Each structure stands twice: as structure tokens, then as C-alpha cells.
């Protein structure tokens, strides 16, 4: 199979310069667990030069049922970490904190969008997760089974995830914003037997009918035998006899004792689907020990978690950020994590800041797209709140523009809180490049330096190192514990997508440059993956959805820069001869995509064309389409068919 990439855009070499430097604030550094650049450098050097010893030592942060005998077996691209060891991540995230001093410590604080608040101590979490696991057991779930989870953000989704981990079942969380078709594909591909969902969820004052979407998906997925339904909204939903079960009724039948299954280090923990360039979404498989250690260690050092922190990552559990930094990372460290169900602008645009003050949040982790939205809504809404409990800020998901970074620093961090810009991916499992906040000076827009054990490099398409200041492809030269192990059911695709472009190295699909200080500046994807509001989408998925519409013959999706969302979605569409093109057809197609994939994939703009511009060899001229979408060099009128054949002829040489 062909590798999933293209070339480095030429704009990468002429990127902006940013000279501001922010050293770690002295007060922060004096209390941080890593408090000087020298300390970071020494640990980093050891993690690279003596990596087995480094990781063997760090792995003691986890509780093992059986110790491992080998740190790493590396047979490109197959890594096995901590072989011979057995452990359970639910035990590590819950049980070990539920005894002793942390038993009465708050593990989760949850706020629903309508305003109710619930919290659970580690002791309570321990009881609830065992009951939840027993419910799954009664449905026949056992080690190795795949369980789909399609829910909103609540303590119940955390319990669902951890209950799977407790039994050794492999969770496959599907973001609640995905449509029935997308859910069905993911459940079918991972051969799920059980689905956990809820009646509905609250979003911006509306109820999202999760159960009825799930019903539609399950109709198309005969392998799903049981559907477990959490009653969140008290909505009347049809329950299918023998297949559907109310969670609260099942919980009433079970005991609160359920031992944690000993898992081999390399036993799969979860499958999470993400978009690539070609084909359908990929089910990345993460395994137990390496993922657990990676998320635990990065949370500990990059968020500098301390015993009294209230930590809030605003991501949905349905994305990798939610897996690693809402659920596993904080709980493995015995931290207090806040969960919020709803939208940042409900009922007002200051909801987040209201939450920060009321719950005394000290660490806050969000996406640049959210920061840009707050900027647009106006600092006056932020200034109504004190935000005095905050001590550390983080960002993730897309490059942060220096303006947004400075605004975050000033308006949210009050020039007191370090900002950790964290670069990583679904595939990497845990954060790869980010400042250690008490040790590394930050520069607005740079993710700064690699985490321990991570060896990134910028290279040309041929794999040659690129000198400082120049753009190139970001690759990782060494295996790391939390790396994905394979694509579920498709090891060849795993090899082709990540390990064939630059042989022997992990190919990230991102462009980047490194400056004279060794800092990394991420420049966005070099392939056809879009990043819309920090959500990753494949152009192919949206194109397939469009061509499923009876009036569409061909479609090409490209991204265009968007001030708020990072990237907007533009669809170039050719239609069946004789079809009248007008605004209502454009609207119909936008709705169609939202219905097929989910609202997150809805195109911002539809451009009708007689034919898609293609090279002589038949490839769609995507670079040309990107240029056209970005410059608006099209008629700007959805009622006319564009003819790109002339401009395509002129550009053909560039694209071949």
C-alpha cells in the first residue's frame, strides 16, 4: 500500500519569527517537581542514552502484579515494552489510591451543563467501578472483548472506560458528536459485542439523542448483542427487549466487589479511531503498561501535578486527549480531575471561567481553537472572574498562533502561569513535545523541547536531517512506551502509514522546524488530514460521504485557513449532468455530510464544478484546489459551475 503522504509545502521554510522568551516563573519553579533546565537536560540525556535503565526506573511508578523482565523488545515497527510484567490500569488508577491517605480525596468533580455538580472520592470511585464492571460481566463481557462507548462527558463514561480496563475488555470510545454511520463503522471494524450509551446528552441547552443515534447504528451492526443505557436526561427512549438494558437497573443487581484482571504489559487496552489520508478511519491499538506509564509520567511532569491540584482538561473523553488526560493520566497520579459536560458558551460565554473559580481549578488544559473563540467573545467576560487559583495552562490539538498564546498568557494566566503547548497525536498516546514548566523557558507558538525518551528530528523527504531554521518533516527516531502498536485488523496499513515514508523512523505526518535553541515549531499536517477546531478529519471520509449522495459524481475536500477553527472545510463537487446547482443544493449537501459523519465534518463551503481539475495521470490537483480555496480565487457564487480546466492546464507541471 502506498504511504499516506505528500511533500513539504514551500511556505514551511519562510515561517514567522517569534523572539519573545518566557522563563519559568521563579515561584512556580521553586515548587515544581523538575525545577531547572539542568535537571531537565540531565534527565533527558539519560532517557535517550540509557533508555532501558531510565524506563525501568520510571516504571516503578506503576503497581505491578508481576514485575517485567525486559524493558524493550524493538523490532521495527513492533515494540514490546515491559514484557513479562502483569498489571491492571484500573487498579493503578483507582484501587491503589482508595486505601490510605488518598481514600477520601476527591477523584472526580463533574459539572453537568444544566448546572448540577457531583463528585466522587477515590474510595467511592473504587466501589462504583467494581459495580460497573460487574454489570459488564453479567452481560458476558470478558478479557479481550471489545466494548464500544458512545456517551457524553459524565462520571459514568469514566466508569465505563475504567470498568473495561478492570476486566481486560478493550474499550472503543466513539465521540458523541459522530453520526450513526460513523459509529456503526467503528463498532463493526473493531467487532464490538457490547455498546454503552446514554438516553441523551446536554449540549448548548439542547438534548442530543444519543440512544436513538445508537439504535440506528446498532441496526447496521449485527455483532452488537447488548446495549447498556445510562439514564442521563430522563428521556423516554425505546428499549429493545433482550438487547437493551438500563444501567441503573443492572447496577441494583450486582455486588461492589470485582477483582482487577491481571493483564500482560502488551495486552490491548483500547482501540481509538482516527483519520488518515486514505481509506477509512484507522483503529489505533494501545496496550496496557506502556500507555499507562506514558500518560502517567507526562501528566506528572508536564502538568507538574501536585497533591492539592484541581486539574481540568476540557477535551471530550471521545478523543485521545480525553483518554490520556481526562481519564488515565490524572487518575493514575491520584489527582483530582474536573469533568464538564457541556459547551463553553452555555448559558453564557464565561461558563469556563465561572467553573474555574467555583471549583478552584489550578491546572487548565484546552485547545487553541477555544482560546481564539474566547478572544473573539471578548476579554471583558473573562475579567469578571478572578482566576486566582490557576497556576498552569496548557494547549493541545493544533498549532497555537502567538497572538492567541499571548492572550492566554495575559487574560487567563495573568502573566503568572506557565503555558505548556503540547504536541502529540492519537498514535503517540502521550505528549511528545512540550515544555517542562518549571524548567524550560517558553516561546509563544513553540511546543519547545521533547519529553523524556522522545527523539524527534526534522528531515527531508529522503530522510536527511534539515538544518536549524528550515522546515521539514517531523519524525521520531526512537520507540517510546505509549506508542500505538498497530492498526486493528490491519498491521500492513500500520507499517505503510507510519514506518515506510522514512524507513526505521516513525512518520508523524506533521511539518515542523527547529530553531537555533533546539525548539520545535509545529507547522501543521503535510498530508491530506484536516485539523478543524482541533478535530482531526480525513478528506477521504468526507469525500466518500459526499459521493454517496445521488446527485454527486465526484468530490474533493481541501482545508483553507480559518481564523477561529484553524482550518475550514471546502468541498469541490461535480454533480450529475443536468442537476441544477443552487444554494439549496449546497445546503442539502452540507446537511448530508453532517448526517453521515457528524456535524464536525460539515463543509463550510461547497463549490460546484463541471469537473475536478486532474493531472494527465488522473490525480486530483489538490494543491491547486487548496490555493483556490485559500485565496477565494473562484467566482464566489454557488449557483454557477466553475470551470477549472484552464488554470489546471497552467498548474499541471507543479502537481506532477
- Binding site per annotation, positions for Mg(2+): 547, 549, 552
Question: Which is nearer to ligand WTA, 505 or 609 (by Cβ)?
Answer: 505
Question: Which is nearer to ligand WTA, 329 or 334 (by Cβ)?
Answer: 329
Annotated binding residues for ATP, written as ranges, equal: 397-399, 421-426, 510, 525, 536
Question: Which is nearer to ligand WTA, 296 or 320 (by Cβ)?
Answer: 320
Secondary structure (DSSP) of 264-276: ETTSEEEEEEE--
Hey, which residues between 320 and 339 contact ligand WTA (CB under 6 A)? Answer: 320-321
Return the ∠ at Cα 593 (arms to 591 and 597), rounded to 5°.
Answer: 125
Among 98, 331, 502, 522, binds ligand WTA (CB under 6 A): 522
Checking phi first, is residue 445 left (phi over 0); if not, alpha (psi -120 to 50) or beta?
left
Question: Which is nearer to ligand WTA, 112 or 472 (by Cβ)?
Answer: 472
For cell 474566547, name the residue.
374
Pairing of strands 244-246, 226-230: parallel
Hey, which residues between 254 and 283 contact ligand WTA (CB under 6 A)? Answer: 274
Cell representation of residue 487: 492498526
Question: Which is nearer to ligand WTA, 274 or 277 (by Cβ)?
Answer: 274
Could you tell me the smallest distance in angstroms from the CB atom of residue 565 to ligand WTA? 13
According to the binding rule CB under 6 A, does residue 366 interact with ligand WTA? no
Could you tell me the smallest distance in angstroms from the CB atom of residue 241 to ligand WTA? 39
Residues 6+ apart with CB under 8 A from 165: 88, 89, 90, 93, 171, 269
Tell me the CA distances in angstroms from 315 to 75, 234, 340, one per residue in order: 34, 25, 9
For cell 463537487, name the residue.
573
According to the binding rule CB under 6 A, does residue 559 interact with ligand WTA? no
Residues 6+ apart with CB under 8 A from 532: 559, 562, 565, 566, 567, 568, 569, 600, 601
* Residues 520, 513: Cα–Cα separation, whole Å: 6
According to the binding rule CB under 6 A, does residue 5 interact with ligand WTA? no
Could you tell me the smallest distance in angstroms from the CB atom of residue 322 to ligand WTA? 10
* Residues 89, 296: Cα–Cα separation, whole Å: 11
* Residues 191, 208: Cα–Cα separation, whole Å: 25
Q: Which residues pair with 208 in a beta bridge?
A: 201
Name the one range near ligand WTA by CB under 6 A: 288-296, 459-467, 523-531, 634-642: 523-531
Name the one range near ligand WTA by CB under 6 A: 6-14, 317-325, 342-350, 587-595: 317-325
Cell representation of residue 619: 490525480
Q: Which residues pair with 572 in a beta bridge?
A: 556, 607
Q: Spell out, one character per residue from 378 to 397, where the chain touches ligand WTA: x when CB under 6 A holds, - when not.
A: ------------------xx
Could you tell me the smallest distance in angstroms from the CB atom of residue 608 to ligand WTA? 30
According to the binding rule CB under 6 A, does residue 399 interact with ligand WTA? yes
Select from 544, 545, 552, 561 the least CA-distant residue to 594: 545
* Residues 261, 55: Cα–Cα separation, whole Å: 24
Question: Which is nearer to ligand WTA, 186 or 211 (by Cβ)?
Answer: 186
Q: Spell out, one character per residue from 199 to 238, where the chain touches ligand WTA: x when CB under 6 A holds, - when not.
A: ----------------------------------------
Secondary structure (DSSP) of 473-516: EEEE-S--TT---EETT-HHHHHHHHHTTTTTSEEEEEEEEE-T
According to the binding rule CB under 6 A, does residue 421 interact with ligand WTA? yes
Question: Which is nearer to ligand WTA, 304 or 421 (by Cβ)?
Answer: 421
* Residues 63, 293: Cα–Cα separation, whole Å: 11
Could you tell me the smallest distance in angstroms from the CB atom of residue 176 to ligand WTA? 16
According to the binding rule CB under 6 A, does residue 539 interact with ligand WTA? no
Q: How many residues bind ligand WTA (CB under 6 A)?
A: 23
Could you tell me the smallest distance in angstroms from the CB atom of residue 23 to ligand WTA? 20
Name the one range near ligand WTA by CB under 6 A: 220-228, 254-262, 300-308, 505-513: 505-513
Name the one range near ligand WTA by CB under 6 A: 208-216, 217-225, 260-268, 419-427: 419-427
Could you tell me the smallest distance in angstroms from the CB atom of residue 296 to ligand WTA? 17
Could you tell me the smallest distance in angstroms from the CB atom of residue 518 to ligand WTA? 17
Annotated binding residues for CoA, written as ranges, equal: 203-206, 321, 345, 533
Question: Which is nearer to ligand WTA, 261 or 457 (by Cβ)?
Answer: 457
> Which alpha helices (H) appear in 363-516, and where do they start and end?
368-377, 379-382, 402-407, 491-499
| Long-range Cβ pairs for the range 589-597 (8 Å, 24+) | 589/546, 589/549, 589/552, 592/545, 592/546, 592/548, 592/549, 593/542, 593/545, 593/546, 594/179, 595/179, 596/179, 596/181, 596/182, 596/545, 596/548, 597/178, 597/179, 597/181, 597/182, 597/541, 597/542, 597/545
Q: Spell out, one character per residue from 423 to 452, where the chain touches ligand WTA: x when CB under 6 A holds, - when not.
A: xxxx--------------------x-----
Binding site for ligand WTA (CB under 6 A): 274, 319-321, 396-399, 421-426, 447, 508-510, 522, 524-525, 531, 536
Amino acid at each position: 500500500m502506498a504511504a499516506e503522504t505528500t511533500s513539504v509545502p514551500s511556505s514551511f521554510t519562510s515561517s514567522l519569527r517569534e523572539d519573545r522568551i518566557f522563563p519559568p516563573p521563579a515561584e512556580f519553579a521553586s515548587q515544581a517537581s523538575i525545577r531547572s533546565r539542568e535537571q531537565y537536560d540531565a534527565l533527558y540525556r539519560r532517557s535517550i542514552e540509557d533508555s532501558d535503565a531510565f524506563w525501568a526506573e520510571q516504571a516503578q511508578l506503576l503497581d505491578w502484579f508481576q514485575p517485567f523482565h525486559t524493558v524493550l523488545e524493538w523490532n521495527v515497527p513492533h515494540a514490546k515494552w515491559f514484557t513479562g510484567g502483569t498489571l491492571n490500569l484500573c487498579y493503578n488508577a483507582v484501587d491503589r489510591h482508595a486505601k490510605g491517605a488518598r481514600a477520601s480525596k476527591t477523584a472526580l468533580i463533574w459539572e453537568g451543563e444544566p448546572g448540577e455538580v457531583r463528585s466522587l472520592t477515590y474510595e467511592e470511585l473504587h466501589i462504583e467501578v467494581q459495580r460497573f464492571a460487574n454489570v459488564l460481566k453479567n452481560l458476558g463481557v470478558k478479557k479481550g472483548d471489545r466494548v464500544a462507548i458512545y456517551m457524553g462527558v459524565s462520571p459514568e463514561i469514566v466508569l465505563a472506560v475504567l470498568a473495561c480496563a478492570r476486566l481486560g475488555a478493550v474499550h472503543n470510545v466513539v465521540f458523541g458528536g459522530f453520526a450513526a454511520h460513523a459509529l456503526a463503522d467503528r463498532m463493526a471494524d473493531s467487532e464490538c459485542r457490547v455498546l454503552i450509551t446514554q438516553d441523551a446528552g446536554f449540549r448548548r441547552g439542547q438534548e442530543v439523542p444519543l440512544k436513538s443515534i445508537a439504535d440506528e447504528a446498532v441496526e447496521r451492526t449485527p455483532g452488537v448483542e447488548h446495549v447498556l443505557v445510562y439514564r442521563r436526561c430522563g428521556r423516554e427512549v425505546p428499549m429493545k427487549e433482550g438487547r437493551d438494558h438500563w444501567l441503573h437497573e443492572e447496577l441494583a443487581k450486582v455486588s461492589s466487589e470485582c477483582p482487577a484482571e491481571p493483564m500482560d504489559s502488551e495486552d490491548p487496552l483500547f482501540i481509538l479511531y482516527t483519520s488518515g489520508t486514505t481509506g477509512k478511519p484507522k483503529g489505533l491499538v494501545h496496550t496496557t503498561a506502556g500507555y499507562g506509564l506514558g500518560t502517567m509520567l507526562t501528566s506528572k511532569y508536564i502538568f507538574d501535578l501536585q497533591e492539592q491540584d484541581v486539574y481540568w482538561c476540557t477535551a471530550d473523553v471521545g478523543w485521545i486527549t480525553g483518554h490520556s488526560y481526562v481519564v488515565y493520566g490524572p487518575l493514575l497520579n491520584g489527582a483530582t480531575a474536573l469533568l464538564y459536560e457541556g459547551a463553553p458558551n452555555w448559558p453564557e460565554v464565561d461558563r469556563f471561567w465561572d467553573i474555574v473559580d467555583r471549583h478552584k481549578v489550578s491546572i487548565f488544559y484546552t485547545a487553541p481553537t477555544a482560546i481564539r473563540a474566547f478572544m473573539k467573545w471578548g476579554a471583558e467576560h473573562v475579567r469578571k472572574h478572578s482566576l486566582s487559583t490557576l497556576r498552569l495552562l496548557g494547549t493541545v490539538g493544533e498549532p497555537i498562533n502567538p497572538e492567541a498564546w499571548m492572550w492566554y498568557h495575559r487574560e487567563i494566566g495573568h502573566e503568572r502561569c506557565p503555558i505548556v503547548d503540547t504536541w502529540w497525536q492519537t498514535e503517540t498516546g502521550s505528549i511528545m513535545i512540550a515544555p517542562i514548566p518549571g524548567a524550560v523557558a517558553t516561546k509563544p507558538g513553540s511546543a519547545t523541547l521533547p519529553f523524556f525518551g522522545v527523539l524527534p528530528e526534522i528531515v527531508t523527504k529522503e530522510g536527511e536531517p534539515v538544518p536549524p531554521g528550515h522546515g521539514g518533516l517531523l519524525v521520531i527516531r526512537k520507540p517510546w512506551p505509549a506508542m500505538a502498536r498497530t492498526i486493528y485488523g490491519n498491521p500492513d496499513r500500520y507499517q505503510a502509514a507510519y514506518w515506510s515514508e522514512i524507513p526505521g523512523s516513525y512518520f508523524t505526518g506533521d511539518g515542523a522546524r527547529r530553531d537555533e535553541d533546539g525548539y520545535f515549531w509545529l507547522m501543521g499536517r503535510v498530508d491530506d488530514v484536516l485539523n478543524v477546531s482541533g478535530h482531526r478529519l480525513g478528506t477521504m471520509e468526507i469525500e466518500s460521504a459526499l459521493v454517496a449522495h445521488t446527485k454527486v459524481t465526484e468530490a474533493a475536500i481541501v482545508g483553507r485557513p480559518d481564523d477561529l477553527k484553524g482550518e475550514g472545510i471546502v468541498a469541490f463537487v461535480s454533480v450529475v449532468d443536468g442537476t441544477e446547482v443552487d444554494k439549496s443544493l449546497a445546503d442539502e449537501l452540507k446537511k448530508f455530510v453532517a448526517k453521515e459523519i457528524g456535524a464536525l465534518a460539515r463543509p463550510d463551503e461547497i463549490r460546484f464544478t463541471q469537473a475536478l481539475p486532474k493531472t494527465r495521470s488522473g490525480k486530483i490537483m489538490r494543491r491547486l484546489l487548496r490555493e483556490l480555496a485559500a485565496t477565494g480565487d473562484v467566482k464566489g457564487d454557488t449557483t454557477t459551475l466553475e470551470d477549472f480546466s484552464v488554470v489546471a492546464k497552467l498548474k499541471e507541471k507543479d502537481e506532477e
